[in-house]
Amino acid sequence: MSPRAGLTPTFNIDLRNKFKLLGGIRLAARTDIRSVLVIGSGPIVIGQACEFDYSGTQACRVLSKEGYRVILANSNPATIMTDPDFADATYIEPLTLAVLEMIIAKERPDALLPTLGGQTALNLAMELNAAGVLERYGVEMIGANALAINTAENRELFKNAMDELELRVPRSGFAHDMEKAISVAEEIGFPVVVRPSFILGGAGTGIALDSEEFLEIASFGLSASPISEILIEESIAGWKEFELEVMRDRADNAVIVCSIENFDPMGVHTGDSITVAPAQTLSDVEYQMMRDAAFRIIRRIGVETGGSNIQFAIDPTNGEMVVIEMNPRVSRSSALASKATGFPIAKIATLLAIGYRLDEIENDITKVTPASFEPSIDYVVVKVPRWAFEKFPGVSSRLGTRMQSVGEAMAIGRTFTEALQKAMRSIELGRYGLGGDPLDKPLDLLGLDEVLNLATKATPSRIFEVESALRKGASIELVYEKTKIDPWFLFQIRKIVDEKRFWSDLAVDDEGDSIDSLKDQITRKDLLRAKRNGFSDAQLGYLTNTSETLFRELRSKFALVPGYKTVDTCAAEFEATTPYHYSSYDGESEVTLGDRKKVIILGSGPNRIGQGIEFDYCCVHASYALSEAGYETIMLNCNPETVSTDYDTSDKLYLEPLFPEDLNSVIEAESSGLGGGNLAGIIVSLGGQTPLRLAQGIDPSLILGTSADAIDIAEDRKRWSAMCESLSIPQPPGGTATTFEEASKVVAEIGFPVLVRPSYVLGGRAMEIVYDLEEFEAAFSRLSALSAEGGEASMRPVLIDSFLEDAIEIDVDAIRDQDGGFLLGGIMEHVEEAGIHSGDSACVIPPITLPPQIQQEIVQTTAKIADALLVVGLINVQFALKAGSLYVIEANPRASRTVPFVSKATGVPLVKIASLVMVGRSLKELASEGILPVAVDRDYYAVKEAVMPFSRFPSADTLLGPEMRSTGEVMGIDSTFALAFAKSQLAAGTSLPSSGKVFLSLADRDKASGVELARRLRALGFSIAATSGTAKLLLSFDISVDDVVGKIGEAQDDELDAVSLISSGEVGLVINTPRGRGPRSDGYHIRSSANRYKVACVTTMSAALAGVSAIEALKDNKMTITSIQEFHRSISKGSR
């Protein structure tokens, strides 16, 4: 190269003109590939949530727009990406090697894009590659190739690559067996971190402080790793943790999209850490060192096009940097980085994978600058994880290197304090901010030492303990010593503490005259300072012992309203056209009001068990439908993983807490000034419980669709019962109670078993079935102790219903319009009997055992309820069928969790129809426009199966019950119920055995059907092991039992112990249907062993029978695959 080789121009370009040229023309995209297979991430599980629906949806949209044929595989029906419009062929089929090979053989894609579907897609792509499938069918892996993925994912190769670059990684060694593991650990010295290779979200990872802990963690890790490999590594707990999001194109241009700093030091999985963007405590020298390293890493690993996430740790005492790991794909952090900066990583990664260069892609937000830049942001972003430990009694809430959170909320503020407090009230734990609310009380009662002790351990509540310690006077130095949380963060929290002190000093003693003098004391300046530190009116009301209303009034007096700033990727350097906003009390507001009629859609907030992607699906579809109908759509949500918080899903996005004050401010901003009269209303019924709770504070005339009063009737036990009575609709006998005496009276009337639960809760929280008085007392006291989760549950009465044993449960989704028009969405028959939460139960469309007249009765009753409630939009009704009688269990006049499943199963766009109905269209009109489906007979079955997070919680009881614990769902669709059920099990990761041994341990009441089950298993050639009682029963029916298993701890010499039987690996399926529960019961040990050793375990008889049918079906039939488009086409043909 001559000295000036780098300085000779070839041609000169005017970028603006270039973008004009680019419009609609494939300039740089590859033309040698015409079809692309995209693999989604499957069901929502811990570590893999909505973020991959967001990234996969973007990928599909980009590929379609660029003219490629898109083939999509994803087993999760609740995703936007699996809507038939997003791909040319959508396979809602199990994500397994065999199924994907069938899809490839049938569709013959030219390329496979494996980097947008999380670890699931990446692992499957690697399996397809290893099995020679890609080569056999000539499929090219784009985005990242197998070598790059392997180098990044295989810890030994990765470590060698880092050594080559002279980048330090923590000292470590690999082991494939325990012997090697022990020698490596001893060489490094304790504490050590154990990380299994090729696993998702750090499952099986842990820190061992001594050799005893090490033995347990290492053996679990070896079994968790698909290649039986663990990395044992020097612990750098207490170091600062950072992440960089890197993009690289085929011309080797590389940029950093975003830096992220973890609030929690090393030792807590980044998915379980509070994180902040951009990094706050790095000097430029340190940041650039990290940036340089990131580029060297992405180049060495060989991710040629697309995004990667690289994690670093820094020793706070000397700046020493180590590389932790790299994800050669779009990750959860990428979704966060996209939402935090406005830079659409998934979309751009897709464009890069098909051949574009960064400088050939327009920055969507500025429209005048290219994507080859590094976003500059002029705000602070805070993400807070949301956990669900309350769902898993007995599981330790200690956080570690294995991710356990189920969701997250993100907030944006102009300062860290503002963003943090907004995030804390976004997380839906009933907090008003970082404390300053009634939930402070338990910590307030403790001494400083106790609080500090609590704060030493990383748990979900640590940030509140830190705040409490600082409030009790601990120095930053002391708290740093205990927690290793960076002093900068601690200083910010102390700023909040100081602000709190200012307001508590003003607190009034009683509700008398002093309020007036308080009002006089408060200056605009003080109030503004507090608001700029993120304080909510509710917090200030609590701190001053007054009320939220008072501060609302004061703000109005001082004209203090939040201004809405814009997320624009460039810190205001260029004009932005994308309306993506957040609030702050800095002053200027940039929001512009349009002149179209507009609708505000309230999203569903952070993912929780019971409230997940299904509701985001509904909100997004409402936005699409209403936008199409000419409305300006305004989305309000705080979940960074979702499609709804993508800046181009709605016409306007407010990334704001779903909290009354923040919502009111948005409503005011959208209702004031020019164009302010155009607010048609607010949709509260599509985002699950979160918006419903907010609805109570909204002007009723603004609520679109079903009224808040109707929602209250459905939730308020007394009003609901009265309504059912007046309509002569039978419901299980029951009553409400606020005291134990009242409760006992109800029980005396209706008799055991009973179902007890608090009202207004989500996902069957704290719901229990009790069979006797002793259990009942315990359950009632648990309910009374339940603190107000997400609001004021404790102030609401407890509901007590007679529990219908062995009843069939049925779910119905339907739509009613304002004229009384009615549309049935679908009738779902549950596989598990009533008593198992509907969210945890498998269900099937169409019903398989319900006679036509019962189905008719279900439809009529649903319509009757919808009429009585004057529902406008969606309604979900749950029924139980016992001994030929139909009972209504509950009705929810809103979108239910099953709406996306019903839509996928039937091809009917329920949310679209419901949204139009909510803004006043009638079903009749929609039918005349061809939007409504024509009634048809379908010749296929769709089964929804729940996916449980038990592998994350080895000590959790896997027994299903009335409290929902599943995190996600899959769908199996095929020509018979048995085949569809088989697919659903495969998709959910339950590997039903085709031969071998089945272990039966059945509750007395299940023993009759157990005989039939055992006969069929025998006929299929299975050998049978059974606990003594079950064995006795089977033998009395002449069914031979191969192994009789004794009670744990009581097994005779010649008897097998259940745990050792399961751990031996001989058993392929455990069927355990217990009555009563408890950590010490035999059933618990059987189930947790099955969980630990990854043996399929079924806990209800109905599911067991369905499972056996599935095994029979798989024996007789070869599995086939069909795309959703093909299924839906068969419907429209059938209708002609």
Partner 1 sequence: MIFSEETFFSSDGYLVLSDGTFYEIEILSLSQKSYAGVVALGEVVFNTVLTGYQEVVTDPSYAGQFITFTTPEIGNYGCNFHDMESDRIWANAVAIRNYSGVRSNYRGEKSLLALCEESNVPLIQGLDTRALTRHIREHGAMPGVIGVGDPRELAKFATSEHSTDNKDLAAVVTRGNSFEVGEGPLVVAIDYGMKSSIIRYLAGRFRLRVVPATTSGAEILSYGPAGVFLSNGPGDPSALTYSNSQITEVLGKVPLFGICLGHQLLARAIGATTYKLNFGHHGGNHPVSRLSDQVVEITSQNHNYAVDRDSLSLAYGKSTITHVNLNDNVVEGFSLDDARAFSVQYHPEASPGPHDSLYLFDLFAKEVRSA
Mark the segment that binds partner 1 (CB under 8 A) among 250-258, 387-395, 868-876, 954-962: 250-258
**Residue 410: CB minimum distance to partner 1, A:** 17
Which stretch of DSSP H or E encloses residue 530? helix 524-532
Residues ≥6 apart with Cβ < 8 Å to 108: 35, 137
Kindly identify the residues of this chain, within the stretch 414-433, that bind partner 1 according to CB under 8 A: 414-416
Q: List, as residue ranges, the binding site for ATP.
A: 155, 195, 201-202, 234, 236, 241, 267-269, 311, 325, 757, 802, 804, 809, 835-838, 878, 890
- Tokens found for residue 956: 């959790």
Measured distance CA(990)–CA(33) in Å, rounded: 36
* Minimum CB distance to partner 1 smaller for 366 or for 861: 366
CA distance 731 to 1110: 33
Write down the least CB distance from residue 419 to partner 1, Å. Answer: 10
- Using CB under 8 A as the binding rule, the residues of this chain from 1103 to 1132 that contact partner 1 are none
190 counts as binding partner 1 under rule CB under 8 A: no
Among 186, 187, 252, 595, binds partner 1 (CB under 8 A): 252
- Which run of H or E residues covers position 995? none
772 within 8 A of 752, measured Cβ to Cβ? yes
| Rounded Cα distance, 413 and 424, in Å | 12
Task: Provide, rounded to whole angstroms, the least separation between the CB of residue 282 and partner 1.
Answer: 6
Q: Does 300 bind partner 1 (CB under 8 A)?
A: no
The first and second tokens of residue 719, run together, are 């009003």
Q: Is 570 in the site for partner 1 (CB under 8 A)?
A: yes
Q: Which is nearer to partner 1, 481 or 553 (CB)?
A: 481
List the one residue from 262, 372, 405, 461 that touches partner 1 (CB under 8 A). 372
Figure out which of the listed residues 6, 24, 473, 884 binds partner 1, where binding follows CB under 8 A: 6
Task: Retrieve residue 824's tokens.
Answer: 């049935």
Query: With binding defined as CB under 8 A, does residue 259 bind partner 1?
Result: yes
Give φ, ψ of 334 to 5 degrees.
Answer: -65, -40
Site membership for partner 1, residue 255 (CB under 8 A): yes
Establish if 376 lies at the interface with partner 1 (CB under 8 A): yes
CB of 655 to partner 1, least distance (A): 16
Which of 165, 167, 395, 476 lies at the binding interface for partner 1 (CB under 8 A)?
476
Does the footprint of partner 1 cover residue 64 (CB under 8 A)?
A: no
> In the complex, what is the shortest distance from the CB of residue 20 to partner 1, in angstroms, rounded to a whole number?
14
Binding to partner 1 (CB under 8 A) within 511-540 occurs at: none
CB 483 within 8 A of CB 518: no
Name which position in 13, 559, 748, 935 contacts partner 1 (CB under 8 A).
13
Structure tokens at 1106: 């369905």
Annotated binding site for Mg(2+): 311, 325, 327, 878, 890, 892
Secondary structure class of 958 (helix, strand, coil): coil
Q: How many other CB atoms are found less than 10 A from the CB of residue 621?
A: 27
Q: Kindly identify the residues of this chain, within the stretch 676-715, that bind partner 1 according to CB under 8 A.
A: none
What does residue 763 show for φ and ψ, rounded to 5 degrees? 60, 35
Closer by beta carbon to partner 1, 10 or else 728: 10
* Binder of partner 1 out of 565, 598, 921, 1085 (CB under 8 A): 565
CA angle 809, 810, 815 (to 5 degrees): 155
Report the binding-site residues: 155, 195, 201-202, 234, 236, 241, 267-269, 311, 325, 327, 757, 802, 804, 809, 835-838, 878, 890, 892
Annotated binding site for Mn(2+): 311, 325, 327, 878, 890, 892
* Binding footprint of partner 1, residue count (CB under 8 A): 71
The token duo for 226 is: 């698909």
655 binds partner 1 (CB under 8 A): no
Binding segment for partner 1 among 273-281, 591-599, 802-810, 952-960 (CB under 8 A)?
Answer: 273-281
Residue 740 within binding range of partner 1, rule CB under 8 A: no
Give the shortest CB-291-to-partner 1 separation in angstroms.
6
Minimum distance from residue 746 beta carbon to partner 1 (Å): 56
In 3-state terms, the chain is what percent helix, strand and coil (to 5)?
Answer: 40, 20, 40
Work out whether 166 is an interface residue with partner 1 (CB under 8 A): no
Residues 575-594 within binding reach of partner 1 (CB under 8 A): 575, 586-588, 590
List 114, 204, 278, 328, residue binding partner 1 (CB under 8 A) = 278
Structure tokens belonging to residue 295: 């580029």
Residue 1010 near residue 1101, CB atoms below 8 Å:
yes
Q: What are the Cα distances from residue 342, in Å, to 40, 348, 1099? A: 23, 12, 46
Number of C-beta neighbours around residue 824 at 10 A: 18
**Which of 23, 32, 166, 283 lies at the binding interface for partner 1 (CB under 8 A)?**
283
Nearer to partner 1, 488 or 558 (CB): 488
Placement of tokens 């529990």 in the chain: 803
Beta 35-39 vs 69-73: how paired, if at all?
parallel
The interface mask with partner 1, positions 862-901, x = CB under 8 A, is ----------------------------------------
Q: Which 1024-1043 positions form the footprint of partner 1 (CB under 8 A)?
A: none
- Residue number, 372 or 838, with CB nearest to partner 1: 372
| Contacts with 428 (C-beta within 8 Å, 6 or more apart), sequence order | 386, 409, 605, 606, 608, 658, 690, 790
Binding mask 477-496 for partner 1 (x = CB under 8 A): ---x-----xxx--x-----
SS3 95: coil
The rounded distance, in Å, linking the Cα atoms of 897 and 617 is 10
End-to-end Cα separation, the chain, in angstroms? 70
Q: Which one of the spans 362-370, 515-523, 901-909, 1110-1118 is the region binding partner 1 (CB under 8 A)? A: 362-370
- Residue 70, beta-bridge partner list: 36
Place of tokens 């209706």: 750
H or E segment and range at residue 562: none
Q: Is 27 an interacting residue with respect to partner 1 (CB under 8 A)?
A: no
Residue 953 sits in the site that holds partner 1 (CB under 8 A)? no
721 lines the binding site for partner 1 (CB under 8 A)? no
Between CA 866 and CA 876 the distance in angstroms is 9
Only one residue has tokens 């907090």, namely 431
Judge contact between 290 and 261, C-beta under 8 A: no
The yes or no reply on residue 291 touching partner 1 (CB under 8 A) is: yes
571 counts as binding partner 1 under rule CB under 8 A: yes
Q: Pick from 31, 160, 211, 288: which binds partner 1 (CB under 8 A)?
A: 288
284 vs 937, which CB is nearer to partner 1?
284
User: What is the residue type of 480?
Assistant: Y
Minimum distance, C-beta of residue 847 to partner 1, in the bound complex (Å): 57
Asked whether position 156 contacts partner 1 by CB under 8 A, the answer is no
Among residues 288 and 521, whose Cβ is nearest to partner 1?
A: 288
**One of 14, 179, 505, 513 touching partner 1 (CB under 8 A):** 14
Query: Residue 484 Cβ, how far from partner 1 at the closest point, in Å?
Result: 10
> DSSP assignment, residue 1014?
H
Q: How many CB atoms lie within 10 A of CB 1116?
A: 8
Would you state the torsion angle of the CA atoms of residues 52, 54, 57, 61, taken in this order, to the nearest 10 degrees? -130
C-beta of 570: minimal distance to partner 1 in Å? 7
Asked whether position 227 contacts partner 1 by CB under 8 A, the answer is: no
CB 666 within 8 A of CB 593: no
Q: In the set 206, 271, 375, 735, which binds partner 1 (CB under 8 A)?
A: 375
DSSP at 131: T
Of the candidates 970, 1006, 1012, the one whose C-alpha atom is nearest the C-alpha of residue 988 is 970
Instruction: Pick the closest to residue 915 from 635, 615, 623, 670 (CA basis).
Output: 623
**Any bridge partners for residue 969, and if so which?**
946
